[in-house]
Structures are given as structure tokens and as C-alpha cells.
Chain A
Amino acid sequence: MTINKFNYEAFALDYLEGKLSVELTEEMERFLATHPAIETELSGMMEVVYLEPDTSIVFEDKAALLKEEKVVWLNRKWAKPLMAAASVALLLMTYFSGYQAGIKQGDNTVVVTEDKHNENRPENSAPSVVATIEKEETGIVEQIEKLPTTQESELEKTVARFVPKTIVPTKNIREVKMEVVNKAFEEITIEEPTTIVAEKIQVVDNEGIEQKLAPKEVTEKEPIILTPIASIQPKLVNAIGQEERANNLSNALKVELPVAEMAGITIQKRKRGIKDFLGRFPVTQLKEALIPSYYKEENAGQ
């Protein structure tokens, strides 16, 4: 028996309204036959009171709640520039989506960097990556101030380009992605097309042990092996000659890593970021330190 004195109330209304199934109605009647007090209680409710809405009561300010659809009419004067802007946006979107697809579906490998520097970050860095970016960003600004002025402006510009400063910690990854796309839209000009393709990737950890796969960027001509920031630290010291400056710079480069570890945007950002960074940075030794194979091949070509 499923109906008892503890649960009969849940069936009572349906019983009174005749909405119980045949089996349950029979069960209810058997139950009531053995519980006269409850039967009296229910028989006193044979005329259930139902309320009727008072239609004279209306909400008079409905007009204030209504919204208008926005219709934008294009002025002939603005049509061309807007269409041009739309094509650029389309181009960028195609680039980003195609790029991601290439990484995920082709022979290429998705970037997973195991950087010892990550240990310094909070354990829950994955969901709060954005917060980490901001934190690191602050760190970078402080670090940049210690660099010589000629490098400072260049570095600052580059870092500013790739650190989404407007991102707030409450945004989710999708919103961050959009920020990056929007940022790219603002910053990238058509004169500087990027033709990076991801291919097989190799990574070396702090101890120089090959561990996982890391990004390897390939231009149309020659492959570039990117080394994780942690493992290039000694090379940076050698290249720059001063440990403090090398530290500053390597910290600045770390900006890319938290971004790089976010699923989705990571690869785009890191590849574009580092490539552009290296392309603009005036210190040639740095390029050599960061991507030795690139230099080796370039020099061999000459």
C-alpha cells in the first residue's frame, strides 16, 4: 500500500478532484475505510473553494516595461567603411576559428605546458585564470619600470597589446575569448597578416627533461621551436648579461603563460603574442635565446 496516514495529504486533492488513477482511487478508498477520522475530514471538503482572478486588477504601467527593437539605417556615407570593417571582422573570425580547428583536428598537437613557474600560482588557477592575468599584469608593470627606457616603451607596448587589461575576474572564458577577438580587431592591421600554423610540439622542463608537448610555431618557410619560459631563464641571463634584467624580462614573458593555459584562446594568444613580441623586441640576442632553432636555420639560410 502506498497511501498511508503520513502521505495521504499528497493524494487528497487529486482524489477530491477525481484526478487520481483508478488504482490509486481504489487504494485511497480502502485507506479511508480504515481511517474514519480522515474520511470525515475529506468529506467535509467535498466543496473545494477555488479562487477566480479579479480581472479588474491590471498593471497600468505596461507601456513603461515594453522595449523597442533597434533598427539601424546605414547612411550612404558610412556604408563603405562599415562594410570594410565587417570584412576585416569576418577575416579575423575565419582566422581564429580556422586556426583553432587546425590545432585540434590536424596532425598538430594541442599545447600543454608544464611550467614549474605554475606552482607559484594558486591551486584553483584554472577557473580564475583571468584574475591571475590581472595579478601577473600588475607584476609586469612593476617589472617593466626597471628596464632601460628604450626597451621599456617597446616592451610596454607589446605587453599592453596582449594583456587584456579590461578583463574583470567575473568574466567567463567565453567572454574572455570575445575580449581577445575584439582586442585583436582593434589592434591588428591587414598589413601584418599572421601565417602561423601549429605543428608538432616539444617541451623541455626546468631540468631540461623533455616532458610534454609544447608549442612549435611554423611559418610558411621555417619551423620555430618555442622553449618554455622557465627553461630559457639561464639563456636569458647569458644573453642579457644581467640576472636582474633577465628576471624582469622573463617575468614579462610569463604574461603569456596564464593566458596560454586557458582552453581555447590560449594558443592563439600565445603564438601571436610571442611571435609579435619577438618580432618587435630590439634585442637580437633575445631572439636567439628564446628560439635557437629559428636563428640557427635563419643563419644557415644566409
Chain B
Amino acid sequence: MTVNEYNICVKEHADGIFRFVLKQIANRADAHDIVQNTFEKLWKHREKVTAAKAKSYAFTIAYHDMIDLTRKKKFVGNYENAPERIERDFQTQMETKELIEKGLAELSDIQKSLILLRDYEGYTYEEMAQISELSISQVKVYLFRGRKKLQQAINRLNKAI
């Protein structure tokens, strides 16, 4: 990958990776660090990565960095977002967007990641399997369960309003 191709990759995918990560960890500073780290690694390995594979490569790095971070955070206890959640519970009006946000929060990490990769970036099952290091069947099952759970959560939250 040339310097120019790397720069194109930054311009085209930095936002997507940032969105993908931020949606899941809900912490701008951490998401920023992950994007930065992702592109540092991509730059470091640019000779091995072709331009065509750069996007998947970057998403794979970001995905695994994010998993590492969430594991670490779960281990020490995630209190950062607690006030925000309580505050939101008091809101009486919820828009569809917020319903989806809440529904997403109920999914497992892997279900959430796969849905975001599919819907945000339009990845194929094969690409998602590569990024998440799962089999294609596993990806399909996680995705199906994730979507089912998301829909059930949204229906439930909708009724509660």
C-alpha cells in the first residue's frame, strides 16, 4: 500500500471506524484512541497490506482493540455511563433512534458488532467472519439472534412508553 493509498484509507474509513467503535463503547476518548491506534498499526504494516484489503484490515484491528478494551472495562467495572443511563430512564418521550440505542444496549457485544458491521459498512458474511474470527454460520446465527433480540427489545420498549 502506498502513502497515497494509506491516506485515502484514512479519509474514507476513519469516520466509519470511529462510528462503529463509538456506537459500542459510548466513550469518545476511547473511540478516538482506538481509531488512532488502528491507523498507526495500518501504517506500520502498510507494506504487507494491499489497498483492497486495507478497510477490512483496519476494521479488524479496531474490532479487536475494542474487544480488549471492553473486556478490561468490564473487569474493573463500568460506571462511566451509569449516570447517563439513569438520566435517560427519566425521559418520557423516546424517539425511534433512542429506542434503537436502548435496544442495542441489550445485545451482546458480538451481536452488536456484527449488526453494525453489516448495517453501517455493508460487509458480507465472509468479511464479517474474517474480522470477527468466527465461521460464516456462526456469523449468521449471531446476526439472526441479534436482530431478533433488537426487535423484541424495541417492541417491549415501545409498549412501555
Contacts and interface: CB of A to CB of B under 8 A. Distances in A.
Interface of A: 7, 9-14, 41, 44-45, 47-55, 57-59, 61-62, 64-69
A12 B104 CA distance: 20
Which 8 A/B pairs are nearest by Cβ-Cβ distance? A59-B18, A51-B119, A10-B140, A59-B14, A9-B141, A53-B120, A10-B137, A65-B39
B151 A53 contact: no
Contacts of B103: 49
Contacts of A13: 140, 143-144, 147
Nearest to B35: A59
Nearest to B137: A10
Nearest to A14: B140
A47 B143 contact: no
B100 A49 contact: yes
Nearest to A63: B10
Interface in B109-161: 115-116, 119-120, 137, 140-141, 143-145, 147-148, 150-151, 154
A67 B120 contact: no
B93 to A, nearest CB: 19
5 contacts: A48-B147, A57-B18, A57-B19, A62-B11, A64-B36
B10 A51 contact: no
B36 A67 contact: no
Contact of B19 (A45, A48, A53, A61): A53
Given A10-B141, A13-B140, A67-B7, A58 B116 contact: no
Given A59-B17, A62-B10, A67-B6, 13 more contacts: A7-B137, A9-B140, A11-B140, A12-B140, A13-B140, A49-B151, A51-B100, A58-B15, A59-B32, A61-B35, A61-B36, A65-B10, A66-B10
Contacts of A68: 3
A9 B119 contact: no
Contacts of A11: 140
B144 A10 contact: yes
B147 A49 contact: yes
B141 A57 contact: no
A276 to B, nearest CB: 34
A44 B153 CA distance: 13
Contacts of A12: 140, 144
A66 B32 CA distance: 15
Interface in B30-76: 32, 35-36, 39, 43
Given A59-B15, A59-B35, A65-B36, A48 B151 contact: yes
Nearest to A42: B148
B120 A9 contact: no
A50 B39 CA distance: 28
A65 B154 CA distance: 38
A49 B140 contact: no
B120 A51 contact: yes
Contacts of A64: 36
Contacts of B78: none
Contacts of A53: 16, 19, 119-120
Contact of A69 (B4, B35, B120): B4
A12 B145 CA distance: 10
Contact of A49 (B7, B14, B154): B154
B22 interface: yes
Given A9-B140, A10-B140, A49-B147, A57 B3 contact: no
B133 to A, nearest CB: 17
A65 B40 CA distance: 8
Contacts of A52: 119
Contacts of A49: 100, 103, 147, 150-151, 154
Given A52-B119, A54-B19, A61-B36, A67 B43 contact: yes
